[in-house]
Structure 1
Amino acid sequence: MDQAEIKSRESNGAKKTTLDAVVIGAGIAGLYQLHRMRQLGLKVRAFEAGSGVGGTWYWNRYPGARFDSQVEVYQYWFSEDLYKAWKPSERFPGQPETEQWLNFVADRFDLKKDIQFSTRIESATYREKDGRWDVVTSDGERIDTQYLLACCGMLSAPLNDRFPGQSTFKGVITHTGLWPKEGIDLKGKRVAVVGTGATGIQVIQTIAPEVGSMKVFVRTPQYVVPMKNPKYSQADWDRWSSRFNELKTRVRSTFAGFDYDFENRPWAELTPDERTQVLEKYWNDGSLSMWLATFPEMFFDEAVSAVVSDFVRDKMRKRLRHDPKLCDVLIPSEADYGFGTHRVPLENKYLEAYLQDNVDAVNCRKTPIERIVPDGIQTSDGKVHEADIIILAVGFDAGSGALSRIDIRGRDGRSLKDRWKDEIRTAMGLQVHGYPNLFTTGAPLAPSAALCNMTTCLQQQVDWITDCIAYAKKHGKGVVEATKEFEDNWVRHHDETAAATLVVKTDSWYMGSNVDGKPRRLLSYIGGVGNYNRQCDELAANGYQGFAMT
């Protein structure tokens, strides 16, 4: 540890450490936040629950795990040399390669020396008398820090205790977000997969050829888009590298932080044939551009949503060979929800997996899961679906869950967990009123909570937080807190923006609907990444109005 750190021993023998900043997490945001704090010359340490760096790319090592942002924009933008130094193997690399990349970044900037691994932050309590935080780790260390920088991840609180009777199961049961490092032998086994979101889809399409049999428990069918994932040569990467500055600027201004955007002519100005041509073009691109670069009207206009949704449904029906049972279970109906109001998964022969003789789909809308029993999964019709291995692809307590699982107490000892049980609110996803010097990335009410290419939005937030702290230090201020008025205004703007869309009419993890008792509010700001960034820039240019400094 840094020799400048002040260490003492408390009477009970617990170690006490004094720091300027604590970073929670060593994923995309945490690594960059650690780097930026060191650039400010602060005494900083990051704490990571895993044994290595990577965040979501450390924990999510299930079969088939890969990101669905193109690798040329899923990047750090603070170093052109870094961008050029790592050559990805394909457009959408898998988890092992992404974890290697993040270790490459950490080693290149010597970040690991300031990361404490296999350590969770258990609690953090704000001291009003001097504007600092008392932090306690899972190994009992007590830390006195001025700034608490939460880079916990928006999808890092797995819902792993989901069904009654899980502990009675005689076989292997695991959540995709907690997949064991040593892996699981699936060959020839009877496997049950619960959930068909983006993660479940990746697992299903990957393991279908090797398992003995697989039953997929489907509650909410998904619209899917086929992924096109070409290999990248050095020449390909050199071409992308030559566009570094262009891409760096571009991703900050688009709706979702990618290098593509809604730039087609308005829906109303096109003929039906012209609309279809646009949809076919982006469908064939094999990326999230089908969702985030075709027609923004699909988010607001039910008639447009219906046409786009039926386009996707037709593509899916053909791949399922118009099998009526499979189409009913796997394709959303007009009555379910529209394309794009849920997270849109990219896939590779996912639908074709159900055409295999060893794969069956269980319709959980007709026969919901009641419990897990020693031999498998029992549904409401009394049937026990026997299994050797149960894979829970049931998602996360998104946006708010990671922070809610830490006992964070701000002014007057107010619990953040209790506050968010009543209502999930933040000031632009950067701070929460009542919790001074707590800064957040990937938190609710910012694009980074869901609707963004994560590297774009997380870096923008880290840079804003770093610049805010630098501004406070320059002006001799030690405490930064979003005012109640500013937070109220942001929540109002967030809700008004969300209410204009069809997204809020759909039950999904975007709305917190996947967690019993979670307050209903769109977790992610849907006003666009470019718009959000402009508002953040304006705040900084105006001396961080809305953020009180003392």
Structure 2
Amino acid sequence: MIPEHDVIIVGAGFAGLYSTIHAERAGLDILGLEAGDDVGGTWYWNRYPGARCDVESIDYSFSFDDALQREWRWSERYATQPEILRYLNHVADRFDVRRHYRFGERLAAASWDERAQRWDVRTESGFQASARWLVMATGGLSKPQLPDLPGRDDFAGEVLQTSAWPEDPVDLRGKRVAVIGTGSSGVQAIPLIAQDAAELTVYQRSANYSVPAFNRTLDDDEWQRQQDDLARRRELSWNGAAGSPWTSHPVPFADADEHERRAVFEESWTRGGVLFAKAFQGLTVDPVINDAARVFFEQKLAERVPDPETRESLTPRDHPVGTKRICTDTGYYETFNEPHVALVDLRREPLAAVTATGIRTADEHREHDVIVYATGFDAMTGALTAIDIRGRDGRSLREEWTGFPSTYLGIALPGFPNLLVLNGPGSPSVLSNMALTSEQQGDYALRIIAHCRQQGHTSIEARSDAAAAWTAHSLELADRTLFGSAPSWYTGSNIAGKARGFLPYIGGFKNYIDRCEEVAAADYRGFVLSSR
């Protein structure tokens, strides 16, 4: 007999853990499904050397339980993957989350039963279950992208992927290593790989902006100051544009003289990483401000990389500052000053094929013992389209999203009743602090469920016109910025054949929360509620 539940939650990262904890508090019968062997989500899989969050540790944590906030002591300004994973394990232990989950179960299919008003699901192992509600906490960056290179499977050496790094230690000492990809994972891993490898060759498809993390150990004094300021910091984060307390310089760029502009860029640079894009309001909207940031960056790059040819290859040319997520690094550019490290600029020297012994470009063949693919993800939609999800009348989510995904508030889809997507396309998700967005999304999904249960509704779904209007609004906001001009995973440009369009909601975290609250206050305007 197929087990029946109130809600099935897919994924055990930040969003899945939050949703499970609060679904239990709401008295729901829960089944959790997780492809990994334990909790952690993206932090379970991404174990590559140097993996680290680019949101400050004190902010990248749950805010719903004050005791939890106070009892966990972060060791660094920007936490590493092992520390974040320990934190998520602590959360799972503290709230006894694992008892709701079946681990090692990857969801293969889900279909809506209109007669029963329930979702029937099946995992790759053949396990089946049913629930009134299906909550997809599958994450925006959880479907790895492996490039379809000629001869890719011919390589006889060791193949590694940053997004599916082995749990056991990897020994690269004395080996000739190739890294393909210089996005966030490549930027973080390359300096540490270089410390062990006898030779390191980096194959770069396009240069990205990266700013030093200026990471540091949090001593007791700084930690106490953060604790004393935590309530204010959380309030700023919940009311901010990106779920963090940081804001842009209060004086507009046009009103600042050259000396002040330089000082603001300098201060924002030392904040580290993605925070550089917050130097002046409008930096990712106004080409004049953006160009000033570009000039400042290139001056900093010249200080870090003296060789002009290498520096030119490392200089981004295909996107404005901040329109691809700025990487946060520790010693990335300096790595290319090392004599055993080589950079292959694939703009000048295209990759022709992977061979049994290495990689051949248009210019030469290089031999390698190890190839590391740091090639990112099918972002925002890939984890969902990888599953055969069938809504009303058998309509296929995968087929519908062959075009651009249409969602209402990023959380609901027309034609897919009782399917609630957390941090989906049309929500702030990856543009914000994922710890807080996961709280907001999980809370909103559970409020929708509670509303339906209280009112006797057996199903709810987005109206087609409401989803179309929300999607158009989200795209219009993006078109007012410089983001649309960048070939990035934000727009699906890293995936061949994927429909192009800016996937996250760029209107700001607080503005998004306000829109969600307006919908709830109007008895979930834009939704169709049914009773059977």
Report if the CA contact (8 A) 1:254-1:530 is conserved. yes
Whole-angstrom CA distance in 2 between matches of 1:350 and 1:429: 35
Q: Of 205, 209, 217, which residue of structure 2 is paired with 1:223? A: 209
What SS does the corresponding residue of 1:296 show, helix, strand or coil? coil
Partner of 2:352: 370
1:429 partnered with 2:410? yes
Whole-angstrom CA distance in 2 between matches of 1:443 and 1:206: 33
1:311 partnered with 2:296? yes
Cα shift at 1:263: 4.5
Report if the CA contact (8 A) 1:262-1:295 is conserved. yes
1:534 partnered with 2:518? no
Partner of 1:4: none
What SS does the corresponding residue of 2:134 show, helix, strand or coil? strand
What SS does the corresponding residue of 1:312 show, helix, strand or coil? helix
Partner of 2:385: 404
Q: Of 311, 314, 318, which residue of structure 2 is paired with 1:327? A: 311
Whole-angstrom CA distance in 1 between matches of 2:298 and 2:114: 56
Q: Which amino acid aligns with 2:4?
A: T
Report if the CA contact (8 A) 2:210-2:273 is conserved. no
Report if the CA contact (8 A) 1:375-1:384 is conserved. no
Partner of 1:358: 340
Q: Which deviates more from structure 2 when the two are superposed, residues 38-47 or residues 263-272?
A: 263-272
1:139-178: CA deviations, max 9, x gaps? Answer: 2121111100000010000012532222211111121001
Partner of 2:84: 98
Cα shift at 1:285: 2.1
Report if the CA contact (8 A) 2:249-2:281 is conserved. no
Partner of 1:13: none
Whole-angstrom CA distance in 2 between matches of 1:153 and 1:95: 16
Partner of 1:11: none
What SS does the corresponding residue of 2:431 show, helix, strand or coil? coil
Cα shift at 1:360: 0.2
1:353-376: CA deviations, max 9, x gaps? Answer: 000010000010112222211001
Q: Which amino acid aligns with 1:220?
A: S
Q: Which amino acid aligns with 1:549?
A: L
1:74 partnered with 2:74? no
Partner of 2:399: 418
1:497 partnered with 2:477? yes
Q: Which amino acid aligns with 2:308?
A: P
What SS does the corresponding residue of 2:401 show, helix, strand or coil? helix
Report if the CA contact (8 A) 2:273-2:327 is conserved. no
Cα shift at 1:307: 1.1
Report if the CA contact (8 A) 1:313-1:332 is conserved. no
Partner of 2:424: 443
Report if the CA contact (8 A) 1:191-1:388 is conserved. yes
**Structure 2 unaligned spans of 5+:** none
Cα shift at 1:244: 3.2
Whole-angstrom CA distance in 2 between matches of 1:31 and 1:452: 18
Partner of 2:443: 463
Q: Which deviates more from structure 2 when the two are superposed, residues 214-223 or residues 228-237?
A: 228-237
Whole-angstrom CA distance in 2 between matches of 1:90 and 1:492: 41
Whole-angstrom CA distance in 2 between matches of 1:369 and 1:109: 49
Cα shift at 1:287: 4.2
What SS does the corresponding residue of 2:379 show, helix, strand or coil? coil
Whole-angstrom CA distance in 2 between matches of 1:153 and 1:34: 15
Cα shift at 1:240: 2.1
Whole-angstrom CA distance in 2 between matches of 1:113 and 1:242: 35
Alignment TM-score, normalising by the size of structure 1 = 0.94
Cα shift at 1:230: 1.5
Partner of 2:31: 45
Report if the CA contact (8 A) 1:80-1:244 is conserved. no
Whole-angstrom CA distance in 1 between matches of 2:36 and 2:23: 21
Partner of 1:284: 270
1:268 partnered with 2:265? no
Whole-angstrom CA distance in 2 between matches of 1:417 and 1:257: 31
1:211-238: CA deviations, max 9, x gaps? Answer: 1000000111111111111111344333
Whole-angstrom CA distance in 1 between matches of 2:274 and 2:296: 16
Alignment TM-score, normalising by the size of structure 2 = 0.98
Aligned residues: 530
What SS does the corresponding residue of 2:402 show, helix, strand or coil? helix
Q: Which deviates more from structure 2 when the two are superposed, residues 52-61 or residues 238-247?
A: 238-247
Cα shift at 1:241: 2.5
Report if the CA contact (8 A) 2:249-2:264 is conserved. no
Partner of 1:387: 368
Cα shift at 1:247: 2.6
